[in-house]
Amino acid sequence: MNCLVLSIIVFIVLVKSIVFRKLLGDFWKQVLFGKQPKEKDIQTTYLLPKNVGTLIFKQFRLFSWTYVLLLIILLFFVTKAGYYVLTYGSCVGPQESATCFFSTEQGVIEDNCAFIQEVTIENYHSFQPPIIGTEEYPLHLIEFGCYTCKESRDFFPVIRTLLQEHPGTIFYTYIDAPLDAYPLSYETAVFTQCVRSVDARTYWPVHSILRDEGTNITEEYLWSLANRLSLDTDAIHTCIDSGVGASLVNQEKEISAEQQIIHLPTLLLSYNASRMSDLSILSPYLPS
């Protein structure tokens, strides 16, 4: 639920609760104790027109339960929004696709798969994140993702198609942004960073498989994948136990925090205008 809409509803309810506090109090008495005021009392005490007072009297039980149930539902959404604000910095939560959009030079275009915005991250190369291509390529894409988040996995075919159909054009970087709300998202990121630390050549195959197959990632699945690809599991264990992988993930999480990433996937982009006139290669993935 949109924060503004929710705020307006809460304001209206609070105002009405003050104006009709006696009536609302009697609603609670009806629900909790089965008590119902007399028809005359409803008209005189609540200062209501006679026909309205008669209607409320005849359907007092229905009005009482409707009010209480609506109040409980409202309190649920208020509590949920408050939790999201404290946890994710936004009342829409971690994966609210209704507010997803592509943001380009032409403005904001609504969509429901990823955030794209033009931005320059000055220090993201300092810790050497996993990359495909070279910095000389005209279009730079930086994806913030989470292996166990469904939306990140669903967006991977778009990334793969772009890289396959436009060789020599896209310099792609993946940055881990694991969310606590998703089980094993952090542990999976640490695992992949250790895979890369042990043998960088094996990182992208593992990355691709996890985003293709990672519907229900478990710790057993990760190690079975390592065995399936004949990875050096002893070295990966050592990397994890020593905290090297966690350190790499934490560096990437700091970048996510600096960029205020709260929706996944988020795609940050920049391009060389002298070598690339526009972002038309992205048009198939933008709504018409």
What integer best gives the mean pLDDT of the chain?
Answer: 75
Tell me the C-alpha distance between 210 and 149, whole Å: 11
- The domain segmentation of the chain, as residue ranges, is 3-88, 97-285
Task: Categorise residue 157: left if φ over 0, alpha if ψ from -120 to 50, beta otherwise.
Answer: alpha
Long-range contact list for 79-86, CB < 8 A, 24+ apart?
Answer: 81/1, 81/3, 81/6
Q: pLDDT per residue over 81-123, tens digit each? A: 777 666 655 555 554 433 333 333 333 333 333 444 444 445 4
| pTM of the predicted model as reported, rounded to 2 decimal places | 0.60
Q: pLDDT per residue over 260-284, tens digit each? A: 777 788 888 777 666 666 677 777 7
Predicted local confidence at residue 256, as pLDDT: 83
Locate all alpha helices (DSSP H) within 243-279, ordered by sequence: 244-258
Dihedral sign (CA 59, 60, 61, 62):
positive
Tell me the C-alpha distance between 243 and 266, whole Å: 27
Predicted local confidence at residue 33, as pLDDT: 79
Tell me the C-alpha distance between 2 and 90, whole Å: 10
Percentage of the chain beyond pLDDT 70 is: 67
Tell me the C-alpha distance between 204 and 202, whole Å: 6
Tell me the C-alpha distance between 194 and 217, whole Å: 17
Q: pLDDT per residue over 124-139, tens digit each? A: 455 577 889 888 888 8
Predicted local confidence at residue 113, as pLDDT: 36
Range of 67-81, 139-153, 241-255 with top mean pLDDT: 241-255
Give the residue, 191 or 144, on which the prediction is more confident.
Answer: 191
CATH 3.90.25.10 fits 97-285, yes or no: no
